[in-house]
Structure 1
């Protein structure tokens, strides 16, 4: 993964280290574990393990990344995997909002994986502030009337839910048809309820039918928010 390395050790742990590793991943993993999601148990974290880098040691989880095995999986197994993910997302969305702010699980800044970079700001006390400062941090050349029009379309009354932020096939581990791991929680936190859904369509995907299964994976779909988001992407700062 760009920005970090993952090394497996003989004691069945892995160390994830690099610029993209943050201390906010541990509380996200711990909350996910409390919800009985298939996530690695954290053993150790170090801030500034080396200049500009953080480190997290956690259990190794067996399984193959879903993007690698997807072409070999039967239709019935694909359906089952999607239902398993849906159940995980349902559990996440039912968790009480602990921090009272939109941002990381530790109450820190919001973090977004954008086209060319990680974007960090906040945290935010409400969705209106999140929309105006974080979501609509647009390119300097964006016409004023375009920005105003985009802002007018955005709701600010969504539920705030526990979100993963990077639900892509390579972050899903599968063994014998069972999801054994949902990994890479560095973008997780408390976000508006449509966040995981709209970000699902942003990320690279090798297999076209994966995105076509979004309505099986997500407990709720957000067509209007997805349409707004696709328009915002034209102007959003990378």
Structure 2
């Protein structure tokens, strides 16, 4: 993965235009050279590898120019992508427009699943650790040699005694899924659209190689503005994983938030 010295980004000839996103641990700023810089303690430079892989297969992602440390914090510099966040424009869309967006996202996921894995490891695209973003915290570990080890790490971190019902669910979790390229957070706020087309998929910091059902269960894990979004899961995913979803949601209720 490319790394830039701390002084390289400040010397670029550009003027700050606006702050696009600001929250604890992450700041995204747009500049006059049609790039954005994403920086902060919550930024994961492994995102660069995921974006570069997605770009190789024609997926709608911003081009990355630099990644490394800036003022002691990780950063990425990438293209600015024109478009509105899907969660903002979704309520004003017609049923036909919503269906079109879902079909486009379905094509994206199909392409992602067709990308051959370089190794059998479960983790980031750069060969680093797996990341599972929950509602209030984030679990990390690995990379893992197989799904059984991955499941043990992400589902056995409990507080107190494991109830018998959860033990039963754990015993039924499969460990023979295909390992595929996954975004890990296909929330509406990470999808940019313009003129009825998806122009960008952003925030690939939790992307990597995961069991084939991972994208589906994480789709239901993340909260959003529009409650009907989850109702379109069958339009977005070629395959649904009801059993895996039920086990996942039942188990994580007993884990730390």
What TM-score range do you get, normalising by the shorter chain?
over 0.9
Across the two proteins, how many residue pairs are aligned to each other?
Answer: 235
Name the Cα RMSD after superposition. 1.3
Partner of residue 50, structure 1: 71
Distance in 1, matches of 2:233 and 2:256, equals: 26
Matched ranges for 1:69-218 at <5 A: 69-134=89-154, 136-143=155-162, 145-218=164-237
Distance in 1, matches of 2:86 and 2:161, equals: 38
Secondary structure of 1:6's counterpart equals strand
Distance in 1, matches of 2:34 and 2:25, equals: 23
Distance in 2, matches of 1:181 and 1:37, equals: 8
Distance in 2, matches of 1:133 and 1:146, equals: 19
CA offset digits 1:184-237 (Å, max 9, x no partner): 000000000000100111111211221100000112110111111110121123
Distance in 2, matches of 1:106 and 1:99, equals: 11
State TM-score, norm by structure 2.
0.88
How far residue 109 of structure 1 moved from its aligned partner, in angstroms, is 0.3
Where structure 1 has 5 or more consecutive residues not aligned to the other structure, the ranges are none
Secondary structure of 1:236's counterpart equals coil
Greater shift in the superposed pair: 199-208 or 155-164:
199-208
CA contact (8 A) 2:180 2:210 kept: yes
State TM-score, norm by structure 1.
0.95
Task: Return structure 1 stretches of 4+ with deviation > 6 angstroms.
Answer: none
2:59 corresponds to which of 37, 44, 47: 37
Secondary structure of 1:213's counterpart equals helix
Distance in 2, matches of 1:143 and 1:85, equals: 38
Distance in 2, matches of 1:22 and 1:141, equals: 31
Distance in 2, matches of 1:212 and 1:220, equals: 14
Partner of residue 4, structure 1: 26
Secondary structure of 1:19's counterpart equals coil
Secondary structure of 2:36's counterpart equals strand
Secondary structure of 1:174's counterpart equals strand
Where structure 2 has 5 or more consecutive residues not aligned to the other structure, the ranges are 1-22
CA contact (8 A) 2:60 2:198 kept: yes
Is 2:49 the partner of 1:27? yes
